[in-house]
């Protein structure tokens, strides 16, 4: 093992917690339980776990093995497979970097809401919807949240792998689960909670005949597991050779998906309470969003503002909810910054402190556009957070399967694996995963209305920057050997 000790995990537990932190994000909280309700309740769990087993899990295993086998970032991994593939690695890390610029702005809203919740600000604002509209129209307040979010993230990544990222995730992930458990208990014990939870879980088996349900399930698995051809590769590269990796992937995948399911009880317990106090029997009759950012910034605050024991209970549980949301996003943002640093380090030999500082400052500057005009987020996210991730990961699977060979990776991992990898992994990575991702990509492109000139400009910029970086020379090790 070469390099400073701070560039490696101290314990396997730290690696797993960091991987879980990368995977658990905002979508686990405000998207999964909405999809369950929309796509068949408990029946949705069937396609969801099928997608986990045949696409999500093999792709996490693949990214863990690629990162550890080649001991480097995505550009290094793909260039080692074949020089021409290096550009794909750069597309992945630049794409993830851009995701971080607007993801941090959403976390800035969450950061602001922690303070606003403590003050029950939605009461004086005349409602949660009005408060959120006021917030996103107050760029200076959002900027304060953005600077705080980036400062904490910068300090974490600045301190290195073991001293920063591992230490942060070792604290943040258990805290996230404990606070979530508090909110789940409060949610399921509210009057009317059982009604909401029934809408969340009651199976509608007929819904499984709808292709959209399966697209939603596979799409959610892909996005929620942080399978982006960048973060998990880098995290696995910081594990020593001869490490256990396959079971670590199983733990990461099921912890992530288990958290989504678990937190759904808090969400739908609270929605059930909102239904009870508004005397409606169908969630669709509530005049509030049931998923997405609207659920977090409007629906949940609307419900907690009317909790028994308000305003004290409203302040307490509202604040807890937004701390949970921020922690989930924070551990994901860390994993967004690290791949860009690692790629520049591998290629050019740059130092962590200077590079992480530059990445953070540049992210803040780009993020100002999203602070001033939040409407930019959706078209940029369509390219970076959806479309690019799908085709890049699809090509990652194809390249690993057909150019490198899954057997080579299996043979590398199995001597140290608690759960041995068989030829089933070959079939999933060679056929099932690429085919599934291809279907999702085509369906998404045909059904979307999010393609805009801004989307096209962002895509073009990513491709041009990636080609330029791939064309530059790699740094030389001592003795003149390319790194």
Q: Would 13 be classed as within a structural domain?
A: yes
Which tokens belong to 121?
A: 């600000």
Please choose, from the candidates 154, 156, 188, 161, the residue with its C-alpha nearest in 3D space to the C-alpha of residue 172.
156
What is the tally of helices (H) and strands (E) in the chain? Answer: 25, 0
**CATH code of 358's domain:** 1.20.1740.10
Average pLDDT of the residues in 91-106: 97
pLDDT tens digits along 202-245: 999 999 999 889 999 998 998 889 899 999 999 999 999 999 99
Which tokens belong to 264?
A: 């759904």
- Looking at every residue in the chain, the average pLDDT score rounds to 93
Residue 479 has pLDDT above 50, yes or no: no
For residues 20 and 256, is the Cβ–Cβ distance under 8 A? Answer: yes
Q: Would 19 be classed as within a structural domain?
A: yes
| pLDDT for the residue 118 | 94
Q: Would 55 be classed as within a structural domain?
A: yes
| pLDDT for the residue 451 | 74
- Interatomic CA distance for residues 162 and 338, integer angstroms: 13
- Interatomic CA distance for residues 469 and 284, integer angstroms: 49
- Interatomic CA distance for residues 482 and 475, integer angstroms: 6
Q: What is the DSSP string of 198-243?
A: HHHH---GGGGG-HHHHHHHHHHHHHHTT-SSSHHHHHHHTSPTT-
| pLDDT for the residue 222 | 85
- Interatomic CA distance for residues 336 and 97, integer angstroms: 6
- 3-state DSSP assignment of residue 147: helix
For residues 24 and 331, is the Cβ–Cβ distance under 8 A? Answer: yes
According to DSSP, residue 482 is labeled: B
| pLDDT for the residue 124 | 85
Q: Would 372 be classed as within a structural domain?
A: yes
Q: Would 462 be classed as within a structural domain?
A: yes
Beta bridge partners of 482: 476
Task: Return the higher-pLDDT residue of 391 and 448.
Answer: 391
Q: Would 476 be classed as within a structural domain?
A: no
Could you give the number of structural domains in the chain?
1
Beta bridge partners of 476: 482
Beta strands in 298-450 (DSSP E): none
| pLDDT for the residue 374 | 95
Which tokens belong to 328?
A: 């989930």
| pLDDT for the residue 452 | 85
Q: Would 342 be classed as within a structural domain?
A: yes
- Interatomic CA distance for residues 286 and 172, integer angstroms: 34
| pLDDT for the residue 478 | 37
- Interatomic CA distance for residues 192 and 272, integer angstroms: 5
Q: Would 375 be classed as within a structural domain?
A: yes
Which tokens belong to 92?
A: 């992945």
pLDDT tens digits along 24-49: 999 999 999 999 999 999 999 999 99
According to DSSP, residue 426 is labeled: H
Give the Cβ contact number of residue 333 at 10 Å.
27
Confidence of residue 483 (pLDDT cuts 50, 70, 90): low
Q: Which residue segment(s) compose the domain that 457 sits in?
A: 5-471
Task: Return the higher-pLDDT residue of 350 and 477.
Answer: 350
pLDDT tens digits along 391-407: 999 999 999 999 999 99
Residue 216's contacts (CB-CB under 8 Å, 6 or more residues apart) are: 35, 38, 39, 44
């Amino acid at each position: 093992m070469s390099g400073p000790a701070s560039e490696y995990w101290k314990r396997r537990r730290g690696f797993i917690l960091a991987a879980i932190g990368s995977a658990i994000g905002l979508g686990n909280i405000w998207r999964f339980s909405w999809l369950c309700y929309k796509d068949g309740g408990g029946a949705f769990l069937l396609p969801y776990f099928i997608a986990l087993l045949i696409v999500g899990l093999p792709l996490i295993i693949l990214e863990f093995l690629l990162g550890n086998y080649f001991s480097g970032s995505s550009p290094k991994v793909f260039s080692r497979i074949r020089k021409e593939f290096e550009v794909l690695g750069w597309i992945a890390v630049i794409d993830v970097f851009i995701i971080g610029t607007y993801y941090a702005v959403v976390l800035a809203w969450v950061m602001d809401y922690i303070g606003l919740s403590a003050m029950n600000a939605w009461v004086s604002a005349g409602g949660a919807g009005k408060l959120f509209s006021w917030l996103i129209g107050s760029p200076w307040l959002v900027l304060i949240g953005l600077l705080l979010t980036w400062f904490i993230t910068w300090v974490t990544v600045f301190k290195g792998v073991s001293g920063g990222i591992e230490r942060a995730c070792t604290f943040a992930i258990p805290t996230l689960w404990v606070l979530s458990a508090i909110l789940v208990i409060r949610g399921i014990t509210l009057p009317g909670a059982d009604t909401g939870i029934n809408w969340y879980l009651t199976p509608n088996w007929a819904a499984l005949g709808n292709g959209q349900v399966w697209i939603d399930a596979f799409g959610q698995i892909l996005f929620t597991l942080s399978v982006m051809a960048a973060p998990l590769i880098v995290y696995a590269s910081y594990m020593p050779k001869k490490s256990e990796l396959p079971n670590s992937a199983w733990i990461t995948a099921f912890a992530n998906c288990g958290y989504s399911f678990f937190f759904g009880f808090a969400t739908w317990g609270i929605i059930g309470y909102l239904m009870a106090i508004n005397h409606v029997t169908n969630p669709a009759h509530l005049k509030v969003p049931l998923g997405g950012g609207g659920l977090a910034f409007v629906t949940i605050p609307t419900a907690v503002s009317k909790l028994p024991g308000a305003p004290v209970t409203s302040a307490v549980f509202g604040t807890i909810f937004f701390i949970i949301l921020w922690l989930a996003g924070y551990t994901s943002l860390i994993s967004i910054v690290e791949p860009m640093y690692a790629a520049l380090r591998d290629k050019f030999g740059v130092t962590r402190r200077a590079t992480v500082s530059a990445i953070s400052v540049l992210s803040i500057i780009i993020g100002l556009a999203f602070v001033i005009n939040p409407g930019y987020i959706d078209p940029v996210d369509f390219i970076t957070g959806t479309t690019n991730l799908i085709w890049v990961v699809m090509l990652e699977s194809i390249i690993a399967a057909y150019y490198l060979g899954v057997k080579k990776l299996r043979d590398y991992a199995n001597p140290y694996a608690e759960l041995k990898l068989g030829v089933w992994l070959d079939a999933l990575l060679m056929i099932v995963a690429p085919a599934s991702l291809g279907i999702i990509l085509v369906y998404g492109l045909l059904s979307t209305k999010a393609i805009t000139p801004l989307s096209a400009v962002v895509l073009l910029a990513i491709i041009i920057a990636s080609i330029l970086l791939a064309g530059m020379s790699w740094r030389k090790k001592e003795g003149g050997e390319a790194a």
